[in-house]
Structure 1
Amino acid sequence: MLNILYFGDDRHFSTAFHRAKALERIGHKILLYHNPEETLPGYFKSSLMTAVNFRSGYRLVQPAIQSELKKILQSGIKPDVIWVDNGEFFGEKCLRILKQFNCPVILYSIDDPTGKRDGRRFDSFLSAIKLYDLIAVVRKETEDECKLLGAKNVLRVMRSYDEVAHAPYKNADEIPANFKSDVAFIGTWMRNENRDEFLKVLIDAGISVSIWGDRWPKSEHFELLKPFYHGPNLGGKDYIAAIQGAKICLGLLSKGNRDLHTTRSLEVPYAGGMLCAERTSEHTELYDDGKEAVFWNDAHECAALCKKLLAEKNIETIKNAGMKKVRALKLGNEDICRLILERGLSIAV
């Protein structure tokens, strides 16, 4: 059993929390689950300061975070390993404080910290990149760029589902009627990603799309999308209900984040949904197209594919095959956390 000092953050709270629980399930002890953003002085938490911090690489909050880390260091806890999820709040001086615990410091990021989409958001992280004992990332580009920036050890992994949080309803009849749909998209509206235009193509083709996610009212097409919009991002059993209750579940990538697969790519089949996503090298590596998931090259092909699938009787067959395949791939949080820890500790020895 390892004693783990774990740092999550609000932006990825649910995924970070699920990984911490997965570490506990595989036999480790979380000495402290710490969210750096929670401990910031109140004036940093306004919507204005949140935006300023994001765009300035969290430079202004560094003294406050360093002060909090010193308190943890002085508390006397003795971790065997430190796990940092995402790392955008921690600059070089923060890492030098963490190194005083004299144990391996591991970073795991499902973001694209070396990419261009988020501007200067990851400046603090990049200043500390050389001090991590291991950095685990989910993109080939990120792996290569972290190495070029001086990271000591970089491990590329696939994203993961959570074995407990994303488990499907045992009895599908228990799924509430308001979460049942023909085609579902669960995700945030993002500027310059054209997700609204993609969904507009499906709607114009006569497909009933159910949309859940944040910021959709910002879309210039929201008046068209509004009848299909069912509310903000989903969590917990509602998230599972919307996936499992849909005949088809769309998986849209973030081109700005250089995605070739996303967490939805694993969560949807695990939760009992049918993944309908862009045809990429990583998606076709994961699933047999047409048998375990279905893939398309553009919105028009997606619309035609959805119409064909809704008219046929093999959706449940594909759902079941995808669920079986994703379990066989062993890409749950427990599997990925175990892999990252083993690599991090082997390097430290």
Structure 2
Amino acid sequence: MKILSVGNMNGTSNTCLHRHWALTKLTTKIDVVNTRDKKFTIWYKLANRLFQYGFPIRLPDSPKANKQILKLINATGNDYYDIIWIDKGITINPETLRCIKRLCPSTKIVSYSPDNMALRHNQSQNYLKCIPLYDIHFTTKSYILDKMKSLGAKRIEFTNKHYESSFHYPRTLTIEETERLGGDVGFIGAWEKERCDSILFLAENGVKVKVFGDGRWNNYRNIKNLEVLPGIFTDEYSKALRAFKISLCFLRKINHDLQTSRSMEIPACGGFMLAERTIEHLSLFEEGKEADYFSSNEELLNKCQYYLENDDIRQTIILEGLKRCKLSGYSNEDSMNRMINSVLNDD
């Protein structure tokens, strides 16, 4: 099997890079195109803003990923790629996909995105024009299948979020790491009003919370029982999820999420997950056995207080959550294997 992997390959905690790592475990014949090896230009930001206002303006392709793809296609001769995997290809142009189909008619072109691609703030004009040209779309949003079909998707499949087993696993922590990265209750992520309100409610009621985040979180540095620190993106991310007694898992309201990457990453890192209660969370981890959930700030507070006082129960849930990750095949490697098989077995 020969694969061309296209996406953002920067950083170490980048989930797109983690999916690429999983692809490399499925085949030795793999080429890569990094769509983000250059910083966003002023024109990119302006074009994106204009698109959000409704103008049909394409995003510029500063790294020349489209040219790189076509160069690799032309170099293959008759040794076609079996799959071209494009991870959130918002700068990939329809002309590129049409050229692939003309030169390599047997190649399957796959679109994957961890975001809600039915919403404009995640799209681009480039992407909208490409939707009908993909052989299959994979989405982690179960509720957008019909919408994506209305946008032109020929075939779309839902997949749960994943974790990277070589990055998200229970780390052995030093005393210093546990003290520096851990705490009673913790959260790692961007500021949003709803999650901020929940965290402030905990702090106001005597629960000590540590937040690793930047931006508007910095406005809350002087709140009693709340410690705000810069965001973490290296292996310290996984270590912090292990070090917290309770890791909070909030969902992005702007995306209407029912699960998020942390839904998998927290249990996989050997952390205790206390997440917003959704139908998908309940199907992924059994409530009160493999994770726990809340539907209000009052319930969140009560469960934080309960689990901070019952360490044995909390540790049992941590072990069961980790076991569920493995038994249910939530890793990138297992998930990518399922998706690739689905692509290749479609007749």
* Structure-1-length-normalised TM-score: 0.87
Q: 2-side partners of 1:326 and 1:115: how far apart?
A: 29
1:55 Cα deviation after fit: 2.8
Select 1:310's aligned residue among 308, 311, 327. 308
Matching residue of 2:132: 130
Matching residue of 2:40: 45
Matching residue of 2:88: 86
Q: Judge conservation of contact 1:4–1:79 (CA < 8 Å) in 2.
A: yes
User: Which residue identity lines up with residue 153 of structure 1 in the other structure?
Assistant: R
User: Which residue identity lines up with residue 326 of structure 2 in the other structure?
Assistant: R
SS in 2 for 1:272: coil
User: Are 1:31 and 2:24 counterparts?
Assistant: no
1:147 Cα deviation after fit: 1.6
Q: Alpha-carbon deviations, 1:150-202, whole Å to 9, x = none?
A: 21111111010111111212567684431121111011124xx4322221111
1:65 Cα deviation after fit: 4.5
Q: 2-side partners of 1:202 and 1:258: how far apart?
A: 24
Question: CA distance change for structure 1 residues 15 and 230 in 2, over 3 Å: closer, same or farther?
Answer: same
Matching residue of 2:147: 145
User: Which residue identity lines up with residue 76 of structure 2 in the other structure?
Assistant: G
1:95 Cα deviation after fit: 1.8
Q: Alpha-carbon deviations, 1:90-122, whole Å to 9, x = none?
A: 232232233334311111111001025x27x43
Select 1:163's aligned residue among 154, 162, 165. 165
User: Which residue identity lines up with residue 320 of structure 1 in the other structure?
Assistant: L
1:294 Cα deviation after fit: 1.0
Question: CA distance change for structure 1 residues 287 and 274 in 2, over 3 Å: closer, same or farther?
Answer: same
1:205 Cα deviation after fit: 1.1
Q: Judge conservation of contact 2:59–2:126 (CA < 8 Å) in 1.
A: no
1:36-75 maps to which residues of 2 (within 5 A)?
36-38=35-37, 45-46=40-41, 48-57=42-51, 59-61=58-60, 64-75=64-75
Matching residue of 2:186: 184
Question: CA distance change for structure 1 residues 110 and 14 in 2, over 3 Å: closer, same or farther?
Answer: same
Q: 2-side partners of 1:133 and 1:302: how far apart?
A: 43
User: Are 1:292 and 2:290 counterparts?
Assistant: yes
Q: 2-side partners of 1:96 and 1:222: how far apart?
A: 52
Query: Structure 2 unaligned runs (5+)?
Result: 52-56
Matching residue of 1:8: 7
Q: 1-side partners of 2:201 and 2:149: how far apart?
A: 40
Q: Judge conservation of contact 1:143–1:154 (CA < 8 Å) in 2.
A: yes
SS in 2 for 1:19: helix
User: Are 1:248 and 2:259 counterparts?
Assistant: no
Q: 1-side partners of 2:37 and 2:217: how far apart?
A: 28
1:263 Cα deviation after fit: 1.0
Matching residue of 1:112: 116
SS in 1 for 2:116: coil
Q: 1-side partners of 2:69 and 2:304: how far apart?
A: 51
Q: Alpha-carbon deviations, 1:297-327, whole Å to 9, x = none?
A: 1222212210121122321111111111222
Q: 2-side partners of 1:180 and 1:60: how far apart?
A: 40
1:227 Cα deviation after fit: 5.4
Q: 2-side partners of 1:329 and 1:172: how far apart?
A: 30
User: Which residue identity lines up with residue 20 of structure 2 in the other structure?
Assistant: A
Q: 2-side partners of 1:227 and 1:158: how far apart?
A: 32
Q: What is the aligned residue count?
A: 335
Question: CA distance change for structure 1 residues 60 and 186 in 2, over 3 Å: closer, same or farther?
Answer: closer
Q: Alpha-carbon deviations, 1:257-306, whole Å to 9, x = none?
A: 11111111111111100110111101111122112111101222212210
Which is further off, 153-162 or 299-308? 299-308
User: Which residue identity lines up with residue 157 of structure 2 in the other structure?
Assistant: L
Q: Judge conservation of contact 2:208–2:225 (CA < 8 Å) in 1.
A: no
SS in 2 for 1:256: helix
RMSD after superposition: 2.6
Q: 2-side partners of 1:50 and 1:215: how far apart?
A: 21
1:62 Cα deviation after fit: 5.2
Q: 2-side partners of 1:38 and 1:290: how far apart?
A: 43
Question: CA distance change for structure 1 residues 62 and 244 in 2, over 3 Å: closer, same or farther?
Answer: closer
